[in-house]
Amino acid sequence: MAAAPTGDLSLIPQDGVTKADTVAHDDRVRKWLAVLVILQFVIVVGTIAGVLAYADTMTKQPISNGVLSVLIMVVQAEIGFVTLCISYYFGSSSGSQGKQVALEKMAASR
């Protein structure tokens, strides 16, 4: 029975693709995902801030507590999502990748 895939793309045999190419592609993808997550956060939170700022002038009524609670909950979820993505990008993922490259250099120098 074959081993279960672990998510390491370097184990997939491909003609003309080196491990360095795979690592560079993986890093590019993570950078773009980080940019998209931050952009999405700015758009959602900016929209909510705009709604809160102009709701009184548009409707001539104060925002109800239920609507305000939902908006606060969405902002809290956005903060959690962005924090999770950024900690993955700068934390475990890039640290593991750097450690793997260092270990391979040490093994190659022996």
Residue-wise pLDDT tens for the chain (110 aa)? 555 545 555 555 566 666 666 666 667 777 788 888 889 989 998 988 888 888 777 777 777 888 889 888 998 998 998 888 878 777 766 666 667 777 777 777 77
- Give the whole-angstrom CA distance, residue 6 versus residue 2: 12
Q: Say what the pLDDT of residue 43 is.
A: 93
Q: Say what the pLDDT of residue 76 is.
A: 92
Residue 15 per-residue DSSP state:
T
Residue 75 CB contacts under 8 Å (≥ 6 apart), including other chains: 45, 48
Residue 22 CB contacts under 8 Å (≥ 6 apart), including other chains: 9, 10
Q: Answer yes or no: are the C-beta atoms of 52 and 74 closer than 8 Å.
A: no
Is pTM, for the whole model, over 0.85? no
- Give the whole-angstrom CA distance, residue 10 versus residue 12: 5
